[in-house]
Amino acid sequence: MKSYRKELWFNVPTRRAFINITPQVEDCLKESGVREGLVLVNAMHITASVFINDNESGLHHDYETWLEKLAPHEPVSQYHHNRTGEDNGDAHLKRQVMGREVVVAITDGQLDFGTWERIFYGEFDGRRKKRVLVKIVGE
């Protein structure tokens, strides 16, 4: 069995963003040489997500609006977590809703997606360097 590991680095210039990381994951898959197996992609930070959905800008706008309704960034004083001196209480909650990781089947050397599925990095507390882990196992 082959095993491959890589960290993807991000430094998003805004507090929040959604980034299509499908091309980077496909590059990892090529590099791994795995033809049949599984790929795990997970955020290595508790204020960022990796999720699968449609690469459609209206949907990403809707996520932003929905998440801000669920867990508004301001006032930052509404979160007990921010009593530690942080201001990212909302980002922890947004990450919980959008998830930590995805697993995608690898078939014949390709990501075995549904028609509109793409992999996204969701940043909820950006403006600093953060990592995503890509782990591929198979043969």
The region, left, alpha or beta by phi > 0 then psi within -120 to 50, assigned to residue 108 is left
Task: Pick from 68, 86, 101, 117 the residue near Zn ion by CB under 5 A.
Answer: 86
Residue 87, interface with Zn ion (CB under 5 A)?
no
Q: Closer to Zn ion at the Cβ: 32 or 88?
A: 88
Which range in 10-18, 22-30, 69-77, 83-91 contacts Zn ion by CB under 5 A?
83-91
DSSP string, 58-70: HHHHHHHHHHHHH
Its sign, for the CA torsion 7, 12, 16, 19, is negative
Residue 68, interface with Zn ion (CB under 5 A)?
no
Q: Which two three-digit tokens encode residue 103?
A: 């697993």
Least distance in Å: CB of 90 to Zn ion?
Answer: 10
Residue 88, interface with Zn ion (CB under 5 A)?
yes
Least distance in Å: CB of 71 to Zn ion?
Answer: 13
Cα–Cα distance between 109 and 102 in angstroms, integer? 18
Residues in contact with Zn ion by the rule CB under 5 A: 86, 88
